[in-house]
Every structure is written in structure tokens, then in C-alpha cells.
Amino acid sequence: MIYLHDVLDTAFSAKLVWRPWMVAAVLGQTVRVIPRSSTSSSGVLVPQTALVAFTTNGRFCKTSRGISLTLASSRQNVGPLPEPYKTQGARAVPAAPPQEAVPSPR
């Protein structure tokens, strides 16, 4: 799990927020990440108690993004997500490739 900014890092939403994202896969220089939202009503429920960094209950969204390995490596790692949440979150996202990678900031 890493913190990514919605606008600057992923273009996931127009919210100026940092949120935890699950690293689902590393494919060469692209990292597939899945967002966790505390306001979504669909997706895989992950309780606040699953990870110390979580401040509220939340859900993994049914979407993913591709970001550069450089960007992912530069963001705060908040620790590994325990099972069964890691597997459930990864399975909830379709196997289609993530949206195009967001360029790393220069």
C-alpha cells in the first residue's frame, strides 16, 4: 500500500487528496495500483483495522491506474495489506490493463 495524490499522481478524481492505493502488479516500468475510497458504496470492503495507516473503513474501487515505477517508488509505503483483503481487492478489478500510466513529475 502506498499513498498517491488523486490529481497529481493518478488523475483518479479532481479531489486534492492523498489516499492509500494497493500495488497490484509491477509490469516492467509500470505499476498497476488500485484505489481505496472511504465514500464508495461498492467494491471490496476493507475495515479500518486492516492496516494501521487506515483512518476509516473503506472499499477498493473496481478500477485501476498505471503509474510509473519511479513515481511508485518515491511515494510513502504504508505497509503490506493483509489477507484476505489483498486477494479480494485484486480480484475485484477486471483483468483489463489499467488506464495509461500517468507521467512522472519532473
Cα pseudo-dihedral 33, 81, 74, 3, rounded to 10: 70
Instruction: Give the pLDDT score at 76.
Output: 96
Domain 2-94: CATH class, spelled out: mainly beta
pLDDT in tens, 29-43: 999 999 998 888 888
Q: What pLDDT sits at residue 106?
A: 45
Residues of the chain below pLDDT 50: 101, 106
Largest pairwise CA distance in the chain: 37
Burial of 51 (0-12, 13-18, 19+ CB in 10 A): middle
Residue 40 and residue 43: Cα distance in Å, rounded?
Answer: 7
pTM comes to 0.82
> What pLDDT is stored for residue 99 in this prediction?
52
Domain boundaries, the chain: 2-94
With residue 85 as reference, give the H or E element that holds it. Answer: helix 85-92
Q: Quick one: pLDDT at residue 102?
A: 52
Q: 3-state class of 45 per DSSP?
A: strand
